[in-house]
Structure 1
Amino acid sequence: MEDCQDDLESSGDQDHEAVQEESSTDEDSSDLETGNKTAPRPLLSQAERYLQDCQEIGVIPDASFLCNLGNTSLNLSHRGLGPLGVKALALVLEGDCILKELDLSNNRICWKGGEHLSWMLGHNFGIEVLNLSWNGLCLSGASALSTVVKVNSSLKELYLSHNSFGRAAAELGQALKQNDELLILDLCSNLIDDEAVALLCSGLATNTALKVLKLSQNPISKIGALTLLRTVTNNKNSAMKEIDISSVHVCETFVELLEKARQQDPALDVRYSVFDYVTMNVSAFNIFKKFTEEKHGSIMEFFQGLDDEKTMKVSNSVFRKAVKEANIPLNRHQLEWLIRKFDENFTATINYSQFC
């Protein structure tokens, strides 16, 4: 730490008010690609480059960054870096091939800092794990990062929770169509609604790499949850193993679809919330199926016993009466849900050919 302090002191004492004034003018005028430099930069160590960049940009160097240069993992969470502090890091890390994990969570880097990092990631193909949670990246920052996801082949884990992305999921969806390297994507608490989920699903429909998707604490309804699950299960080449929508209360159709999906892939882990009545309704079919198989051999044979005219149809009232007389252990709500399930078109009859 003493060496780091020496480096900081050697950079020269900066007046705090001058730094603030330079920072405010530099934000819009400086460009990472040109670097505001008129002559080639001399060969410098990473630490020297960083100190020089900080002085030119007008920010105080971060001692922790200096002390950990050359490490494969770097945690700069809660450092108050801001967009210009991140810009200084980006200039140094552009050509770094050692760093693999970078945590910049909770640094108030905003959309401009997101653009600086996106520029860096367009040149750096060593970083595999990046945490940018709690940074207020918003729509513009999400757009910049989506561009990176399309082309960066090194990123494996990307944590972006609490950034108010909203419907920027459209660009993330397009990025996922092209990316075949990203394994974990965390989008928790990002104001993502059902429409944004549908946009994200445009990429999930063909993506073959993503294994973990986190979407909890977003305003997603049971409709968005069902859209997401259908998209993943319909993608036969999907690598998805974990979906976190634990804050969403799902419907009976979702639970049934998930049960079918787990028959094909028992390792699929989907975290969700469910009301007790939904669980009870879903169990109604299994109760009915088990009873009819034990007493009649199959669901089909149960219905055939009610269909004297062999029309392959039984009225809802006849079915309701038969279930009660057979003492099948279903309560009233379960029975009515079962009838709605069998008579989806509300014709007052059950076409039991569906059980052939």
Structure 2
Amino acid sequence: MEDFRTSYLRLCKENRLEPQQSVLSHLSHGKHTETSGGRSPRGTPSKMGPGNHGVVLDLSTTSLTVQTCSVLGAALAKDCLYGELRLSDCMIGDEGFKLLAHSLCSNAAVRNLDLKGNNLRGPSAEALGKLLGQNHTLRRLCLEWNSLGLDSDRFALLAEGLAANNSLEVLDLRNNQISHDGVSELCKALQRNCVLSSLDLRWNNIGIVGGRSVLAMLQYNKTLTELELAGNNITQDIMKAIDVARQHNLDRASLTNEHQSRQSIMTREIKQLRTQKKQQASDLLHRIDQQNELQSRTHRDTAHKIHQLQEALAERKCAFNALNAKLSKTEAELLLAEQRSRDLSDILEVSRKENSSLVAMHQKEMQTQLGEKASSESKLLHDIASLKDRNLHLETKADELDKRCQHQQDQIYELKEELATSHAQVKLQATQAEERLQNEKQRLRDQQRDLERRHASEMQHQRESAEESERAYRDRIVKLEEHRRSLEEEMSKLKNQQLTERLALEEQILSTRQRVKEEEHQRMKHLEDKIRLLSNAKDDIQQHYSQQMQTIAELQAKNNNAGLEVESLKRRLEELNQELAGKNNELQAEVNKVKLSSSKQLSRMEAQIQDSESLRERCSTLELQLAEQTRRHRTELMDRDNETDSLRERMRSQDMEYSRIQEEETQRAGMLQAAISGYLTSTRTPMSTPRK
């Protein structure tokens, strides 16, 4: 890291540039910290996760100028330290990235490159194409939140570089404004790429045409297992077809990985077998002892598990007893619910009677109100009739006054006639009585005037009183009519209110009855379901318990058979070892015997030179016999080796069978324990739920 900082400062000095302080601070204060592949603090070089090499150079959110990008690229071109380069949100731009990409073409250390949010456009896409075409060490490339897809022609150059690349495994192109043309070029390139396994194209402008191009590409590309296409306006049928093709690739990759893992496992096993072939019989005996110890330990574990299962069975019995108690409690609750239902029905009957009494009371009140209304109407009619009679009386009185006035006028006319006759009679006395007559005339005129005035005033007074009475009667009639209308409206309102109250009461009674019936039905149904579930659970647990007991008995029988077979194999191996030792002793005795006979023959040949030919023939025959015995001994040794190998194979198969049985027993015990715990939790859950 100090070398990189020194190189950066040297290049800045050579290019006559002022070093960027933010970059220097990251390079100065950075420390090597162990990481598991996650992001380290900004500017802190850290060890990368599994599958990566080197440390991390994190310059995220640091604004880098074009000159700084040029110097950094020149420093990174020869760097072998940093395995991951994080340049997200650095505002690099197209010019800066061109310089970086040109330098990274010769870098052989960077495995991960993060260029998120750097406003990269068409020129950067062209530079990326050259980088991918020349750099064959890059594994992961993040180009999120850029605009590489704006220029489809230059994006096609990026696709060509991706087609030529044979190292990139993960490519992130989210939010890059990639159109369907760009995706078509990318899919054409991916048809020739057999390394890329993860591609993220979310939130672009692919559309239906681009989705079809992706689907056609997946018919040829069998290595792409992770493909994200959300936010691209692709129809559901195309997405489903793409998911199916991707799942096929994923299955193919999993099968390939499984095949490779199995191949590596088989290779390791073959190596182990070759090394095991070189071991002696003592190792086999030691292994048999270990198997015996393992078998005894397994017996102990099995006994312990059986003890645990018995305890679990006892707990299950306790749970059954608790369930029986709960069932009895539920039956008691059912009886209480029935009693409550009967009480509610009694209450409903009482409410019905009360409603009927209320209805009768309302009807009586209505009848009384109707009677009062009829009496008030009759009273009003009587008052109207009396007012009419009084009006007629006043009219007759006015007629009488008119007649009286007419009678007085007639009297006046009569008096005038009498006056004329008296004037004719007392014409002689006119002079004397003229003055008197004039006075009398004046008096009569005044009296007539007074009578007329009094009559007019009395008539006016009678008319005014009659008009006032008539007006008062009319007002009273209007008020009575208004009172009658208000009474009628009040009666109609009372009728409507009574009708609405009656309907509401009937609806409330019906709803109460329906609700009570539904509650009782639901409670009965819930209790029946609970009883049925409890009975089914009880039957299932009893059946599972019988199956587990049968499985335990079968496993014990298999375990006993395996132990007997191991004992027989051990005895057979001991017999073979004894036989091998006997053969070795016989061979040694034969060799010693042959040596002794050879020495005797040699001494005899030295003593009897004349019998040299016969001795030579006998020696040759003895040598042939010795060779034959040696050959037979070798064949017997080879047979013993083959038999030993076969015994080892049988022991290995027995070990595998024993381990498989042990794993099955462990799995069954785990399944039984899980079933017991699941049942206990399921039985506790209804007990803990509040009763409705």
Q: Classify the TM-score, shorter chain.
A: 0.5 to 0.7
- Report the 3-state secondary structure (helix = DSSP H, G, I; strand = E; otherwise coil) of the residue aligned with 2:174: coil
Which residue does the alignment assign to 2:248? 264
1:185-210 CA distance string (max 9 Å, x none):
11111110111111111101111000
**Residues 122-141 of structure 1 aligned to structure 2 (within 5 Å):** 122-141=105-124
Query: Amino acid of the residue matched to residue 54 of structure 1?
Result: C
The answer as to whether partners of 2:227 and 2:246 remain within 8 angstroms in 1 is: no
Q: Does 2:22 align with 1:64? A: no
Q: Does 2:93 align with 1:110? A: yes
- Report the 3-state secondary structure (helix = DSSP H, G, I; strand = E; otherwise coil) of the residue aligned with 2:128: helix
The answer as to whether partners of 1:209 and 1:238 remain within 8 angstroms in 2 is: no
Q: Distance in 1 between matches of 2:92 and 2:77?
A: 18
The answer as to whether partners of 1:207 and 1:238 remain within 8 angstroms in 2 is: no
Question: Aligned pair in 2 of structure 1 residues 132, 260: CA closer, same or farther (>3 Å)?
Answer: closer
* TM-score normalised by the chain length of structure 2: 0.31
Query: Amino acid of the residue matched to residue 57 of structure 1?
Result: L
Q: Does 2:216 align with 1:216? A: no
Which residue does the alignment assign to 2:193? 207
- Report the 3-state secondary structure (helix = DSSP H, G, I; strand = E; otherwise coil) of the residue aligned with 2:63: coil
**Residues 176-191 of structure 1 aligned to structure 2 (within 5 Å):** 176-191=162-177
The answer as to whether partners of 1:94 and 1:121 remain within 8 angstroms in 2 is: yes
Give, in angstroms, the shift of residue 112 of structure 1.
1.1
Q: Which runs of 5+ in 1 are unaligned?
A: 5-43, 270-356
The answer as to whether partners of 2:97 and 2:124 remain within 8 angstroms in 1 is: yes
1:314-345 CA distance string (max 9 Å, x none):
xxxxxxxxxxxxxxxxxxxxxxxxxxxxxxxx
- Report the 3-state secondary structure (helix = DSSP H, G, I; strand = E; otherwise coil) of the residue aligned with 2:157: helix
Q: CA RMSD in A?
A: 2.5
The answer as to whether partners of 1:142 and 1:165 remain within 8 angstroms in 2 is: yes
Q: Distance in 1 between matches of 2:120 and 2:243?
A: 37
1:217-255 CA distance string (max 9 Å, x none):
1112122122112212x11x5310111111123325414
Which residue does the alignment assign to 1:53? 11
1:244-284 CA distance string (max 9 Å, x none):
11112332541452364266345599xxxxxxxxxxxxxxx
Q: Distance in 2 between matches of 1:119 and 1:45?
A: 21
The answer as to whether partners of 1:47 and 1:69 remain within 8 angstroms in 2 is: no
Q: Distance in 1 between matches of 2:137 and 2:96?
A: 20
Question: Aligned pair in 2 of structure 1 residues 255, 162: CA closer, same or farther (>3 Å)?
Answer: closer
Give, in angstroms, the shift of residue 150 of structure 1.
0.6
Q: Distance in 2 between matches of 1:145 and 1:242?
A: 22
The answer as to whether partners of 2:206 and 2:233 remain within 8 angstroms in 1 is: no
2:217 to 231, 236, 255: 231
Q: Distance in 2 between matches of 1:173 and 1:89?
A: 26
Q: Distance in 1 between matches of 2:96 and 2:243?
A: 43
Query: Amino acid of the residue matched to residue 113 of structure 1?
Result: G
2:148 to 151, 157, 165: 165
- Report the 3-state secondary structure (helix = DSSP H, G, I; strand = E; otherwise coil) of the residue aligned with 1:229: helix
Q: Does 2:180 align with 1:194? A: yes
Question: Aligned pair in 2 of structure 1 residues 107, 266: CA closer, same or farther (>3 Å)?
Answer: closer
Query: Amino acid of the residue matched to residue 68 of structure 1?
Result: G
The answer as to whether partners of 1:50 and 1:89 remain within 8 angstroms in 2 is: yes
- The percent identity for this pair of structures is 27
Structure number with higher relative contact order (C-alpha < 8 Å, ≥ 6 residues apart): 1
2:60 to 77, 100, 104: 77
Question: Aligned pair in 2 of structure 1 residues 132, 52: CA closer, same or farther (>3 Å)?
Answer: same
* TM-score normalised by the chain length of structure 1: 0.58
Q: Distance in 2 between matches of 1:140 and 1:156?
A: 22
**Residues 1-356 of structure 1 aligned to structure 2 (within 5 Å):** 45-55=3-13, 56-61=16-21, 62=23, 63-68=25-30, 71=45, 72-166=55-149, 167=152, 168-232=154-218, 234-235=219-220, 237-258=221-242, 260-261=244-245, 264-265=248-249, 267=251
Larger Rg: 2
Q: Distance in 1 between matches of 2:9 and 2:250?
A: 53
Question: Aligned pair in 2 of structure 1 residues 82, 250: CA closer, same or farther (>3 Å)?
Answer: same
Give, in angstroms, the shift of residue 59 of structure 1.
4.1
Give, in angstroms, the shift of residue 149 of structure 1.
0.1
Give, in angstroms, the shift of residue 179 of structure 1.
0.8
Give, in angstroms, the shift of residue 116 of structure 1.
1.3
1:164-183 CA distance string (max 9 Å, x none):
11223201211122111100
1:295-321 CA distance string (max 9 Å, x none):
xxxxxxxxxxxxxxxxxxxxxxxxxxx
The answer as to whether partners of 2:176 and 2:204 remain within 8 angstroms in 1 is: yes
1:20-55 CA distance string (max 9 Å, x none):
xxxxxxxxxxxxxxxxxxxxxxxx943222123334
Question: Aligned pair in 2 of structure 1 residues 104, 189: CA closer, same or farther (>3 Å)?
Answer: same
Question: Aligned pair in 2 of structure 1 residues 222, 97: CA closer, same or farther (>3 Å)?
Answer: same
Question: Aligned pair in 2 of structure 1 residues 194, 69: CA closer, same or farther (>3 Å)?
Answer: same
Question: Aligned pair in 2 of structure 1 residues 118, 266: CA closer, same or farther (>3 Å)?
Answer: closer
Structure with the bigger percentage of helix = 2
Query: Amino acid of the residue matched to residue 60 of structure 1?
Result: Q
Q: Distance in 1 between matches of 2:20 and 2:140?
A: 29
Query: Amino acid of the residue matched to residue 52 of structure 1?
Result: R
Paired positions, count? 225
Structure with the bigger percentage of strand = 1
- Report the 3-state secondary structure (helix = DSSP H, G, I; strand = E; otherwise coil) of the residue aligned with 1:102: strand
Query: Amino acid of the residue matched to residue 105 of structure 1?
Result: S
Query: Amino acid of the residue matched to residue 111 of structure 1?
Result: D
Query: Amino acid of the residue matched to residue 140 of structure 1?
Result: P
The answer as to whether partners of 2:225 and 2:250 remain within 8 angstroms in 1 is: no
